[in-house]
Structure 1
Amino acid sequence: MGDRVSGMDWLPFLRTWSEEWIDALEPEEAEVFPQSVRAAGWLGFEPAGEERIRALEERLAQPLPPSYRSFLAVSDGWRNVGEFIYALGSTEQVGRFHESSPQWCRILLGLEEDEHFRAVFGRAVQISLEGDAAVLLLDPGEVDADGEWTAYFHASWTGDAPRRYAGFAALMRNEYRSFHRLRKPDNATSRAWEARIEEARVACLAGAVDEPLAVFEEGSAFGRFRAELLRFQLHALLGGSVEAKRAFATIVRGEQDDPARRVLIGRELVPAFGALDRGERRPALARSIFERELDELRERFDGAAPNDGGPKGPWADVLAQARASAESGAGDAAWRTVLAGLVHWQPLGPDHIAPVALLGDPVLGPLCTPERGRELLGIARAGR
């Protein structure tokens, strides 16, 4: 079920979301819904008939985007779209933003300097009702080849520009992911994601790269912490520093109770993170602040296990031999030594899929270009 499919099969998607949402609520939260809603496990309403949908189109003086139109044919409105939107309007409640929320629209137009967003606010259709100072908009001024209108989520408290989506279906799929990311429910969907992530981890250790990374990215969007650990390692080796940094920020804020994960973070991920901006020129003050942050991370995670100075055994011998070659100026030979010796590498735990600490090695790290990182990841490794 793709984000941009105009003919999206809404009923099973909405039914799953409804049941998972109601099941995840605390008792006092569930009380805001009528008993009939809780019993039915359905956050929606009766379908909007064709007559109501056409009446809305006539009022707006243009056809509705297909994915939104088909949604209304399943449910005329909706309760709780994620954590920050408390209701979608019915066909009788939807209207132009400047008419539905005139004061808010005027404030945004007065504050917004970007001409694109000024135009969006002026012509957008508001499809949400109540929210946490947040609103959902559809932009009839930006229509794709399928007739889908660009969709926006905007919340005044973010301080950011409105978040853009390819259409209504994409927005709803994102809000569903956001529900999982924020609530972290234990249900069939979350367990299915853990199974998919495990399959992708095994495939990655067998030498696959792009397909597992796609799974880890989507698993991250669903709030699966393991996906963050795994995608950081791939992005770091592939040169995706921006995505790696985002994953790392989530990791160091996340679940820290697992000793094996703490060891992995301290010994492998922190050194790799420190090397993501290798070669970037920073002002002296910025560099000193960054180094202090790294020292704090090392101190925070080094206590997870005895600090034994790094790899031991055959893999340590491989690295020592490669360093000697690199220091003598034979960088290509050093890298071939690393690749040939990868058979001796052993993961620190079930979330460790590559020797990313290489990136933080002052001698070998500079040799690990994104191309070489992909080459390394294409070699089958231990841990499968």
Structure 2
Amino acid sequence: MTDTTGFDWRSYLLRWSEEWVDSRADEEERPEGRWLGFPGASEERIVAMEKRLGRRMPPSYRAFLKVSDGWWRAGGFVWLLAGTADAHWHDDAYGFASKFAQYLDEDAGPGERREAEIWRTGLRLDVESDAVHVLMDPEDADEDGEWAVYTWAGWRAAPPVRYANFLEFMRDMHREFHLLRAAGETDGGPVFVNETTRTLDARVEQARLEALRGDWERALKALDEAKEYGRPRAAGLGDQVRGLLGNGSTVRFQGLVTDPRYAPDLLPPLIAAHAAHSQRDAAPPFGLAGADDAMAATVRALLDQMWKGTYRHTAPGPFGEAVDRARELARWGDGDGAWRTLMGAVPRWEPLGPDHLAPLGWLADPLLGPLLTPERGRELLSIPRGGQSGRVPAPAPAADPGGLAWLAEPAPGNHLTSYRFVLVEGAEPEELPGLLSDGDAVLSEPLSLREARMRQRPRQRAFAPWEERALVAVGRAGPGWSFAFDGEPFPFDGRPIVSPVAGAGPGVRAVVVWGGLKVIGRSPFFHLSVTEGGVERYAFTYEDGAVRRSGRIPEALDPDHHFGDAKDAADVAGAKAAEGALLAAVAGEFGVGLPRHALTRGRLHTFTTRAWTLPANGAGAYAVARIR
């Protein structure tokens, strides 16, 4: 809350007046004495006003009136602000109360209802304006007796703007005046330099250094304040911080993105955010309309790469080398390793110019961009870089929990109702198509599972639906292990499951897991099988409270040990608990895990496997036992 007590209105308004006068062209009319206000109102005059209105005025407005009984040019659209003689109750003069009320529903909160009532209860302060209404509402007061101020203009197509008190309103009008004058300067108007601009520009430069030292929160606060006044550099610098906080769709890198020095790193994430939410024939992103021919050609080329998924980020120096290593790790699912690789190189990152605050081009890379989380963005911003020194932050928490139990746990981004995967020991991820398909499968470029499914749909008729083929993402599951994962399998219908790693050569061990909810009855099921050299060593399938099993199952994985308490097929909670424990046991038995972040938010290579179940008339080699 703004402290309105003791505010020096005279100095503040004098400075505002002088800035306004000095910003006008010589031929424009200027007020006498370089003063936008009026003589101050006496206490008697203010008391008479309060008697006329039937209310004591709030402290900040009273203090203002004693310095200036009204004000010319509040912001860019209020030409005359009321003093003691002109302020009067609005009394819903234009019928706005009912117009606002008709848009309220039963769930409307107090703030929304206040927006309708202010037209009945508010004190009108706008005397002359560009259809901008200014009201001070005694029914919206704080413990200090300050009244909230509301402004509204129909041409803004936005709800009323609320200020906690009159001082906050006037400060924002001063900022609006600066913002409009700064925009006029960039359009060829007179140079706009004064005490306020010089002070803010010095703060921008200080904020730039603080950001490079890792004090990004303090820097962003100063940059945002300067941005509200329209100071050059502030928006472009602040957007670099916001881009790493996960606000990529709102940043523009104003004043920097079309600079040839910075475009190689700032243009790709801007284009990637645009391509993700637009059609291929869409216009260039806002802020690039005035780009020269060379920049326009670069934008078109980048848009094409983003839509095709072929963009690959590169960077100079040690950070660029780390980018290459991180891409290879992320390519096979090691997102945490990729992130640590990038962070290890941030202190040696080389800015492309003095206004370059952090590496951002990697955000557009289809493999590296998904690594960003809010916690990771804050970590990167907190690392001293660009030749500056400071305190090294603690690493951000790992994005992957490790192991396999997360598959059975509800969590943000994990909405799996069923899943299946193969863990293969003794084979690299790129070898899996040869092991799990009929020889005609090849790895796609890295895709999210959603993107891969959309591309697969036109080819689904190439095989019979009963074949239960899987569209899988592949990567590394641990030292010596690879995985092939399907997060949206065909609904399990009870047919016997066969390992898709049939015919694997000597030295290849494969673990097949299929779990989740059945298509009929939505009851839990779980399957595990282990093969060595293409020969099944043991397997079991839990379904409807019964277990089909074969071979000698290790004690740690014995279904009787895990599903023994789920005697009733209707005990869904018990079966789900057993599922999580069994997944943890599988991870411990083989020393494996699946990368949750890469599978739910990232991009991996994909291909389609051979069938996972026998045909409807197929025979199985299982013994069936009912758990008692």
Scaled by the length of structure 2, what TM-score is found?
Answer: 0.53
1:120-161 CA distance string (max 9 Å, x none):
011110112111111221011100122111101222321222
Counterparts of 1:1-384 in structure 2, within 5 Å, are 3-31=2-30, 33=31, 37=32, 40-98=33-91, 105-112=93-100, 113=102, 114=104, 115-184=113-182, 185-241=192-248, 245=250, 247-248=251-252, 251=254, 255=255, 262-263=259-260, 266-274=263-271, 287-288=278-279, 293=284, 297=288, 300=291, 303-304=294-295, 310-382=314-386, 384=388
- Residue type at the aligned position of 1:268: D
- Asked whether the equivalents of residues 153 and 162 of structure 1 are also in contact (C-alpha less than 8 Å), the reply is yes
Stretch moving more, 53-62 or 194-203: 53-62
Distance 1:240 1:58, change over 3 A: farther
How far is the alpha carbon of 1:266 from its aligned partner?
A: 3.2
- Asked whether the equivalents of residues 24 and 183 of structure 1 are also in contact (C-alpha less than 8 Å), the reply is yes
Structure with the larger strand share: 2
1:234-260 CA distance string (max 9 Å, x none):
11111245xx61x52x82xxx57xxx8
1:31-71 CA distance string (max 9 Å, x none):
4x3xxx2xx22111111111111112222222211110111
- Residue type at the aligned position of 2:19: E
How far is the alpha carbon of 1:383 from its aligned partner?
A: 5.3
1:134-193 CA distance string (max 9 Å, x none):
122101110012211110122232122221111110000001011111102221211211
- Residue type at the aligned position of 1:109: A
1:208-263 CA distance string (max 9 Å, x none):
1110010011011010131101111111111245xx61x52x82xxx57xxx8523
Distance 1:106 1:91, change over 3 A: same
Write the distance in 1 (CA, Å) between the matches of 2:6 and 2:150: 20
- Residue type at the aligned position of 1:60: L
Structure with the larger helix share: 1
| Contiguous gaps of at least 5 residues in structure 2 | 105-112, 183-191, 299-311, 389-628
Secondary structure at the residue paired with 1:381? Answer: coil
How far is the alpha carbon of 1:328 from its aligned partner?
A: 2.1
- Asked whether the equivalents of residues 262 and 352 of structure 2 are also in contact (C-alpha less than 8 Å), the reply is no
- Asked whether the equivalents of residues 263 and 348 of structure 1 are also in contact (C-alpha less than 8 Å), the reply is no
How far is the alpha carbon of 1:110 from its aligned partner?
A: 4.9
- Asked whether the equivalents of residues 140 and 147 of structure 2 are also in contact (C-alpha less than 8 Å), the reply is yes
- Residue type at the aligned position of 2:315: P
Distance 1:165 1:312, change over 3 A: same
Distance 1:306 1:318, change over 3 A: farther
Secondary structure at the residue paired with 1:129? Answer: strand
- Residue type at the aligned position of 1:79: W
Secondary structure at the residue paired with 2:56? Answer: coil
Distance 1:207 1:328, change over 3 A: same
- Asked whether the equivalents of residues 261 and 349 of structure 1 are also in contact (C-alpha less than 8 Å), the reply is no
Scaled by the length of structure 1, what TM-score is found?
Answer: 0.84
Equivalenced residue count is 356
| Contiguous gaps of at least 5 residues in structure 1 | none
Write the distance in 1 (CA, Å) between the matches of 2:286 and 2:152: 37
How far is the alpha carbon of 1:27 from its aligned partner?
A: 2.9
- Asked whether the equivalents of residues 263 and 305 of structure 1 are also in contact (C-alpha less than 8 Å), the reply is no
Write the distance in 1 (CA, Å) between the matches of 2:327 and 2:379: 19
- Asked whether the equivalents of residues 143 and 149 of structure 1 are also in contact (C-alpha less than 8 Å), the reply is yes
Secondary structure at the residue paired with 1:29? Answer: coil
Report which structure shows greater RCO (CA 8 Å, sep ≥6): 1
Write the distance in 2 (CA, Å) between the matches of 1:208 and 1:313: 24
Q: CA RMSD in A?
A: 2.9
Specify the structure having the higher radius of gyration (Cα).
2
Secondary structure at the residue paired with 1:80? Answer: strand
- Asked whether the equivalents of residues 181 and 222 of structure 1 are also in contact (C-alpha less than 8 Å), the reply is yes
Distance 1:25 1:383, change over 3 A: farther
Secondary structure at the residue paired with 1:262? Answer: coil
Write the distance in 1 (CA, Å) between the matches of 2:286 and 2:258: 19
How far is the alpha carbon of 1:271 from its aligned partner?
A: 2.5
Write the distance in 2 (CA, Å) between the matches of 1:123 and 1:263: 55
Write the distance in 2 (CA, Å) between the matches of 1:295 and 1:92: 46
1:76-115 CA distance string (max 9 Å, x none):
11111111111112202111113xxx7xx32423532354
